[in-house]
Structure 1
Amino acid sequence: MRKTFDDLVAEANSVSVDGWDFSWLEGRATEERPPWGYQRVMADRMAGATASLDLQTGGGEVLAGAEIIPPLAVATESWPPNLPVAAARLHPRGIVVVSDNDEPPLPFAGDAFDLVTSRHPLKAWWEEVYRVLAPGGTYLSQQVGPASVFELVEFFLGPQPVEVRRGRHWDDAVAEATTAGLEVVELQTAYLKTEFLDIGAVIYFLRKVIWMVPGFTVESYVEKLRELHAIIERDGKFTATTTRFLIEARKPLA
């Protein structure tokens, strides 16, 4: 029997959103992946590193996919529910998980790591990346680009100002990395498609990715959710554009 709006809401509003595993969305949403394969590239860099730092690791899902872990490996995370999830996943691999509030300064000495990685950081603190990287070290990061999933954001919040839509632009990332003293050696960008196949997927996504619609709750947006549910029922999906970029930068030897 087809699930009702109330059924979908109750299900999505009760499921845990701890960690950074989106497997609950299988069959409910689809996301086109960037062509470069971040986890594969990250694993390749990890295999050649001696000391690595993964910033804002979430539940450690992506980092745990690396087959070879450097002799010294550290991951940071700020969201308390993610910390035990990351620790349970990464500690058996010999990776230390450190609680950090994702603001400068990072709790590490300068020149400590020859590899710093980060998938989808809320913010890249380029000066700190430069400080903790050893000379010749590499920073590798896949980041969310400008106006990502904004069809969904603006459905709930209305049209956003130009400066908000342009936020997280890859040109700014390159400029900030360069200003911090890093040499950008690679930049790839992608416009991708995300499809939400039921209203439960939307609710789960907004509960988990809390910065998309700040303060989101079902109770606060129930009428907009009903409206979106009707659109998905009519069209079979709600489509949004996801933007991503891969940036790799190095700290000069001298």
Structure 2
Amino acid sequence: MRTYDELVREADTVSVDGWDFSWLDGRATEERPSWGYARLLGERMAKARAALDIQTGGGEILAGLPALPPVTVATESWPPNLRLAASRLRPRGAWVVADDEEPRLPFADAAFDLVTSRHPVETWWAEIARVLAPGGSYLSQQVGPWSVAELTEYFLGPFDGGHRDPARAREAASSAGLEVVDLRSERLRMEFRDIGAVIYFLRKVIWIVPGFTVSRFAGKLRALHERISAEGPFVAHSARFLIEARKPDGEIGSPAAG
């Protein structure tokens, strides 16, 4: 059995660039949503003329699709992810655009008949409505309320994690002039089987424990290591929701876009 110090050293130095979690294989598990986002995305992309993927990460999801539209654009803000996305997507004929995490999207009105995003930090509904062509759709899998709250509360104590409510997303989409045609949510079991998996996850998914570092939480990490060693995996639950919204035919721009 590997020691605590060995597990910590490895997990604290391995690269966390991109949005590939294969490093956790055998060390952590997470149930997948029943709707199959990658499958749905592939179906929508195969029918689209021009598509935009917002906050694409390292481009992993798009790069794994069997077909991309004739015009495919992906945006990303973090430089290490930009490089990964470009290396994966440019050979597929897609454009990768550096963009910050604030609106306005650097695209013309009604430029895309499909806009997508997986786990966006924030959804810019008015901008999405603006760049969608009439009859176009937005498809997104998002993080739901109190996702992985067990891990957050272990390190930080009670918190208000309810701001990612799917009902709020529906209201925001409607306010931007979009019609929500699908909205589903699920809670999914997660298991962390060693302390290295916890550290890697928190370094990569930085909003679960904001400001996380090994040195800052050394005492709690060691205590959690001892707990996992004695009792088995640390169990948490992620929250995910799927939302699909359509822009009505004949509508250019969005009332909320100004």
Partner in structure 2 of residue 142 of structure 1? 141
Q: Residue 246 in 1 paired to residue 242 in 2?
A: yes
SS of structure 2 residue aligned to 1:246: strand
- The residue type equivalent to 2:28 in the other structure is A
Shift of 1:234: 1.3
Amino acid paired to 1:137:
G
In the other structure, the counterpart of 1:220 is 216
Q: CA deviation at 1:64?
A: 1.1
Are 2:3 and 1:4 aligned? yes
Q: Alpha-carbon deviation of 1:63?
A: 1.1
**1:65 to partner: Cα distance:** 1.7
Q: How many residues align?
A: 250
- Matched residue type, 1:51: A
The equivalent of 2:126 in structure 1 is 127
Work out the CA distance in 2 between the residues paired with 1:9 and 1:131. 46
Residue type at the aligned position of 1:18: D
**Cα offset, 1:235, TM superposition:** 1.6
Determine helix, strand or coil for the equivalent of 1:187: strand
- Distance apart, 1:214 and its partner CA: 1.1
Runs of 4+ in 1 over 6 A off after TM superposition: none
The normalised TM-score by structure 1 is 0.97
Report the Cα distance in structure 2 between the residues aligned to 1:211 and 1:18, rounded to whole angstroms.
Answer: 15
Letter in 2 for 1:222: A
Question: 2:110 is aligned with what amino acid?
Answer: D
Q: TM-score, normalised by structure 2?
A: 0.96
Amino acid in structure 2 at the alignment position of 1:209: V
- Alpha-carbon RMSD: 0.6
- Taking the aligned partners of 2:223 and 2:99, their CA distance within structure 1 comes to 39
Q: Which runs of 5+ in 1 are unaligned?
A: none
How far off is 1:102 after superposition?
Answer: 2.0
Q: Quick one: distance in 2 between partners of 1:126 and 1:5? A: 45
Q: Which residue number in structure 2 is paired with residue 92 of structure 1? A: 91
The equivalent of 1:233 in structure 2 is: 229
Q: Which amino acid aligns with 2:122?
A: K
Deviations 1:100-137 (A, max 9, x none): 11211001011000000000001101000000000000
For residue 165 of structure 1, what is the aligned residue in structure 2? 161
CA distance in 2, matches of 1:43, 1:7: 40
AA of the residue aligned to 1:139: Y
Superposed CA offset, 1:148-172 (max 9, x none): 0010001000111xxx221101000
- For 1:54, the equivalent position in structure 2 comes to 53
SS of 1:81's partner is helix
Separation of aligned partners in 2, 1:76 and 1:3: 40
Structure-2 residue corresponding to 1:187:
183
**What displacement does 1:138 show?**
0.5
Distance 1:81 1:222 in 2: 27
Is 1:177 the equivalent of 2:176? no
1:105 aligns with 2:101: no
C-alpha separation in 1, matches of 2:65 and 2:114 = 13
Q: Unpaired segments of 5 or more residues in structure 2?
A: 251-258
State how far apart, in whole Å, the 2-side matches of 1:134 and 1:232 are. Answer: 51
